[in-house]
Amino acid sequence: MTFTQAASPRSPWNRVWLGVVGVILLILLVSSPIFVRTFLFQPFSAPSGSMSPTLQQGDSFFVSKCAYGYSHFSLPFSPPLFSGRIFGSEPARGDVVVFRLPKNTSTDYVKRVVGLPGDRIQMKQGLLTINGTPVQRERLVDFIGGDLCGSDPAARVKHWRETLPNGVSHEGVRARSDGSTFTQATGRAGRLRPKSEQRYQLGMSKPDFQPTLIGPTVIIRPVVAEDWPELFAAGSDPLIWKVHPSPDRYTEPAFRKFFDGAVASKMGFVFVDRATNRLIGSSRYHGYDAERREIEIGWTFIVREHWGGPTNREVKRLMLDHAFTFVDTVIFWVGERNWRSQGAMTKIGGVRRSGLFTREATGATPYFIFEIGKDEYEQGGRALVE
Q: What are the residue numbers of the active site?
A: 50, 111
Q: 165's torsion region: left (phi>0), alpha (psi -120 to 50) or beta?
A: alpha
Decide: helix, strand or coil at residue 346: helix
Q: How far is it, in rounded angstroms, from Cα 52 to Cα 165?
A: 21
Q: How far is it, in rounded angstroms, from Cα 379 to Cα 385?
A: 13
Decide: helix, strand or coil at residue 280: strand
Q: How far is it, in rounded angstroms, from Cα 88 to Cα 145?
A: 39
**Residues 314, 384: contact at Cβ < 8 Å?**
no
From residue 216, alpha-carbon distances to 97, 247, 320 in Å are: 19, 31, 16
Residues with Cβ within 8 Å of 85's Cβ and at least 6 positions away in sequence, in order, are 68, 69, 70, 71
Whose CA is closest to 196, among 101, 288, 67, 336?
101
Q: How far is it, in rounded angstroms, from Cα 191 to Cα 115?
A: 10
**Residues 149, 176: contact at Cβ < 8 Å?**
yes
- Integer Rg of the chain from CA: 27
Q: How far is it, in rounded angstroms, from Cα 270 to Cα 220?
A: 6
Q: How far is it, in rounded angstroms, from Cα 55 to Cα 48?
A: 8
Pairing verdict, β 294-302 and 329-335: parallel
